[in-house]
């Protein structure tokens, strides 16, 4: 995680009143910081993002970007880059001209703008597609062009609205990892709206949870995961997520990273993906199976743990487990009774490799 706060890049008080909805949030972001706005449908995330972009007018409030009030300025004068799901590429222009468009609008001469665009397309891995029209690009490629277009204007604020939502699962993994790398190099502030907790956990330095137009919780992914304050957040962070080091299909979980509590470690997990170097490994609590005695001949990842707590979670129970890493498991009420799950008890924990997801960190 990058996290060093180098001074405030964005400070915004966003108030937007509609007939049956009121957004009232305060958002700040340091230079280089990535904020993920999370929340249930209709919470006001998109409204907040559009207000920052200048596409929705503030009823009250202010937006200060790099020390300048920008809320009275039109979108194109705010030093903002946008990667919105519905903010499409210009269909009649090549990838190169799409990316060169912003710099051209900033007054950069045509040849220089095109050189810059070429450089950005190279950075997002599309150096061979500069002449392609958007319709000739795959979803992932189009999203890379959109990112290059947003970054080519060197914005102080990058806004991303569900940037990975339209992509298939495989492409999503790839683009998520790439986006993480580009965000790490970006020196402005970034605000990301996503429904996917993994996107948020992997990409953001800070989660800002919005419900009913207000911020209900914010903090680092680890802080929010450790102390969920609403049901939505509890469900949202119901993912076991760790940092580790991959060597082929084996990942050594060592660095505490995003684990809820760093354990004694190290734990070696088999994962479906073939990777090397620093990675994240994630799996949902529903992928964790519990056994009273050591199951024989299982191909799963297996370790022994101590039950730290059992809590009702919807119609299931969430079991907290301490061991080489801290893990949450979701089990049925019947399993709680059958397995006699009580805090302090030792239990075997199993996770299938195919139910884990490993990603480059």
Ligand X SMILES: Nc1ncnc2c1ncn2[C@@H]1O[C@H](COP(=O)(O)OP(=O)(O)OP(=O)(O)O)[C@@H](O)[C@H]1O
Cα gap 166→162, rounded to integer Å: 8
**What percent helix, strand, coil does the chain show, rounded to 5?**
30, 35, 35
Q: Provide CB contacts within 8 A for 75, sequence distance 6+.
A: 53, 54, 55
E strand residue ranges, 151-300: 157-161, 189-193, 206-211, 214-219, 240-253, 267-283, 288-291
Site for ligand X in 93-152 (CB under 6 A): none
Looking at the Cβ atoms of 50 and 243, the one nearer to ligand X is 50
Nearer to ligand X, 14 or 189 (CB): 14
Of the residues 12, 35, 43, 65, which one makes contact with ligand X according to CB under 6 A: 43
Q: Which of 25, 47, 217, 218 binds ligand X (CB under 6 A)?
A: 47
Q: Which stretch binds ligand X (CB under 6 A): 7-15, 38-46, 215-223, 353-361?
A: 38-46
Q: Does the protein bind ligand X through residue 295 (CB under 6 A)?
A: no
Task: Give the tokens for residue 192.
Answer: 């990301």
Residue 242 contacts residue 259 (beta carbons within 8 Å):
yes
User: Which position has the token pair 């209709």?
Assistant: 42
Longest pairwise C-alpha distance within the chain: 73
Q: Which is nearer to ligand X, 45 or 144 (CB)?
A: 45
Residues sharing a CB contact under 8 Å with residue 104, sequence separation 6 or more, in sequence order:
110, 113
Beta carbons of 229 and 217 less than 8 angstroms apart? yes
Cα gap 89→212, rounded to integer Å: 32
Place of tokens 């990273």: 257
Nearest approach, Cβ of 12 to ligand X (angstroms)?
Answer: 15
Judged by CB under 6 A, which of 41, 111, 296, 297 binds ligand X?
41
Tell me which of 33, 34, 44, 191 binds ligand X, using CB under 6 A. Answer: 44
Question: In the bound complex, what is the minimum distance in angstroms from residue 245's beta carbon to ligand X?
Answer: 35
Q: Considering only residues 2, 5, 18, 92, which one is a binding residue for ligand X as defined by CB under 6 A?
A: 18
Q: Rounded to the nearest whole angstrom, what is the least distance from the CB of residue 86 to ligand X in the complex?
A: 11
Does 67 contact ligand X by CB under 6 A? no
Which part of the chain contacts ligand X (CB under 6 A), choosing from 45-53, 63-71, 278-286, 316-324?
Answer: 45-53
Nearer to ligand X, 21 or 90 (CB): 21
The span from the CA of 310 to the CA of 303, in Å, is 19
| List 29, 34, 39, 175, residue binding ligand X (CB under 6 A) | 39
Q: Which is nearer to ligand X, 94 or 218 (CB)?
A: 218
Q: Which stretch binds ligand X (CB under 6 A): 44-52, 104-112, 182-190, 319-327?
A: 44-52
Peptide bond into 266 cis (omega under 30): yes
Nearest distance from residue 272's CB to ligand X, in Å?
A: 30
Closer CB to ligand X, residue 39 or residue 134?
39
How far, in Å, CA of 39 to CA of 27, rounded? Answer: 15
Kindly tell me which residue out of 42, 75, 248, 299 binds ligand X, with binding defined by CB under 6 A.
Answer: 42
Total residues in contact with ligand X, by rule CB under 6 A: 10
What's the min distance (Å) between Cβ of 36 and ligand X? Answer: 13
Q: Which is nearer to ligand X, 47 or 143 (CB)?
A: 47
- C-alpha distances in Å from residue 166, one per residue of 92, 172, 357: 21, 8, 19
For ligand X, the closer CB: 41 or 293: 41
What's the closest the beta carbon of residue 110 comes to ligand X, in angstroms? Answer: 37
Q: State the nearest-atom distance from the C-beta of 233 to ligand X, in Å.
A: 15
Q: Per residue in 266-292, is it b (16+ CB within 10 Å) or e — as a string?
A: ebbbbbebebeeebbbbbbbebbbbee
**Residue with token string 């039109």:** 74
**Does residue 21 bind ligand X (CB under 6 A)?**
yes
Q: Which residues bind ligand X (CB under 6 A)?
A: 18, 21, 39, 41-47
């Amino acid at each position: 995680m990058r996290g060093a706060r180098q001074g405030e890049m964005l400070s915004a008080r966003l108030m937007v009143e509609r007939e049956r909805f009121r957004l009232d949030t305060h958002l700040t972001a340091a230079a280089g910081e990535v904020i993920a706005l999370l929340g249930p449908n209709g919470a006001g995330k998109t409204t907040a993002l559009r207000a920052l972009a200048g596409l929705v007018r503030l009823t009250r409030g202010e937006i200060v970007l790099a020390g300048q009030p920008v809320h009275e300025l039109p979108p194109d004068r705010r030093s903002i880059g946008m990667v919105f799901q519905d903010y499409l590429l210009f269909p009649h222009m090549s990838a190169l001209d799409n990316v060169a468009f912003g710099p051209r609008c900033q007054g950069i001469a045509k040849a220089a703008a095109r050189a810059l665009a070429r450089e950005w397309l190279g950075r997002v891995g599309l150096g061979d597609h500069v002449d392609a029209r958007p319709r000739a690009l795959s979803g992932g490629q189009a999203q890379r062009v959109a990112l290059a277009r947003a970054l080519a204007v060197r914005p102080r604020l990058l806004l991303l609205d569900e940037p990975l939502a339209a992509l298939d699962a495989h492409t999503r993994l790839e683009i998520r990892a790439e986006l993480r790398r580009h965000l790490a190099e970006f020196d402005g502030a970034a605000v990301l709206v996503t429904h996917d907790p993994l996107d948020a956990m992997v990409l953001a330095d800070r989660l800002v949870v919005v419900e009913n137009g207000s911020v209900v919780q914010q903090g680092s992914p680890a802080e929010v995961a450790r102390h969920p304050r609403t049901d939505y957040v509890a469900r949202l962070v119901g993912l076991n997520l760790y940092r580790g080091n991959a060597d082929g299909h084996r990942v050594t979980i060592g660095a505490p990273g995003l684990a809820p509590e760093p354990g004694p470690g190290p734990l070696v997990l088999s994962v479906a993906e073939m990777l090397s170097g620093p990675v994240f490994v994630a799996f949902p609590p529903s992928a964790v199976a519990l056994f009273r005695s050591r199951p024989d001949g299982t191909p799963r990842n297996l370790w022994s743990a101590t039950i730290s707590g059992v809590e009702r979670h919807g119609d299931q129970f969430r079991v907290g487990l301490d061991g080489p890493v801290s893990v949450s498991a979701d089990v049925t009420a019947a399993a709680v009774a059958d397995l006699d799950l009580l805090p302090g008890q030792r239990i075997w924990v199993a996770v299938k490799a195919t139910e884990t997801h490993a990603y480059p960190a």
